[in-house]
Amino acid sequence: MLRSSRRAEAFTGIALVLPALCWITLLVAYPFFMALYYSVSNTVVGQGTGTFVGLANFRALLADGTFLQTVQNSVVFTSIAVVVKTVLGVSLALILHRKLRLKRLIRGLVLLPFVIPTALSTLGWLWMYDSLYSVITWTVNHVLLGPAGLRPLEVNWLGSPVLAMAAVIVVNVWRGLPFFAVTVLAGLTGIPTEFYEAAEVDGAGRWGRFWYVTYPLLKPILAVVILFSTIFTFADFNIVYVLTRGGPQESTHLFATLSHALAFESLQLGKGAAVSLFMFPALVVIVALQLHFLHRDETRYA
């Protein structure tokens, strides 16, 4: 009787895990191994499966100026975007944690950038960055420069390498900020008020309460949020593809957009797969470092 109950329990467990296993195999494992195969071949779209070329695609990429520019772009884009999202996200969460009128409505509005489909919202930003009809340029000229008697600006936001990179970072921050704010806000609500009362009794001011109470208790949550945000930002595709398609002069290409351009515009599927696989070790290093710091902090505060 006991043996048959254990068999039934084991069968139920397998039946529950099997759909998820099939899902991961079809949508994660199979594409990953196909990318591995293509990356070591000279496959060209429409010309068969290609032949084995070893690491030739990876060596060619390391000697390619566009790829090296892409690596630099990815580091700059990810670093600046994650730092800005962290600072603004924590600040926004602290504001939302205070007693505000219409608090629920404000929290709902904050989530809007995260709820709207990325491609759709980025099209709105594409209009705002338009070289002729930019609402940003119009506002600066008519609200700030015009009343001050200064000459109006003519800015091509997506036509300059520096401005284009700044533009895609702004959209990425706008898009990812709600994720930071809402997650940190959930962490803030879990901090007992007695800790703040004890800190006040000890003479801690507003900054002291944040630094000695809020920040240490939020560190594990911040580490997880920064980890996920780093991965999502590093692998971003939609924002850059809709706004600049990697231009001007390859100044905004990220790994995902360069991989797409090589695989589906130049039809060099092997090189495109090799670019996408360059992201994998970089992300593994980032994840390992952040998990190491997270585990170290958990051990320290345990």
Predicted pLDDT at 193: 87
Predicted pLDDT at 151: 84
226-271, pLDDT tens digit by residue?
A: 888 988 898 899 999 999 999 898 899 999 999 999 998 989 999 9
Neighbouring-strand partners of residue 52: 41
Pair of tokens at residue 161: 């390498």
| Alpha helix (H) residue ranges in the chain | 2-24, 30-39, 56-62, 65-97, 103-110, 112-115, 118-128, 135-139, 161-189, 193-201, 206-209, 215-234, 238-243, 255-260, 269-301
- Which residue ranges in the chain fall short of pLDDT 50? none
How far is Cα 44 from Cα 213, in angstroms, rounded to an integer? 57
How far is Cα 60 from Cα 297, in angstroms, rounded to an integer? 41
Predicted pLDDT at 108: 82
Predicted pLDDT at 167: 95
Contact yes or no for 92/177 (Cβ under 8 A): yes
Predicted pLDDT at 184: 92
Predicted pLDDT at 116: 87
Which amino acid type is present at position 145? L
How far is Cα 256 from Cα 176, in angstroms, rounded to an integer? 18
With vertex at residue 230, the alpha carbon angle to CA 176 and CA 25, rounded to the nearest 5 degrees, is 100
pTM for the full model? Answer: 0.86
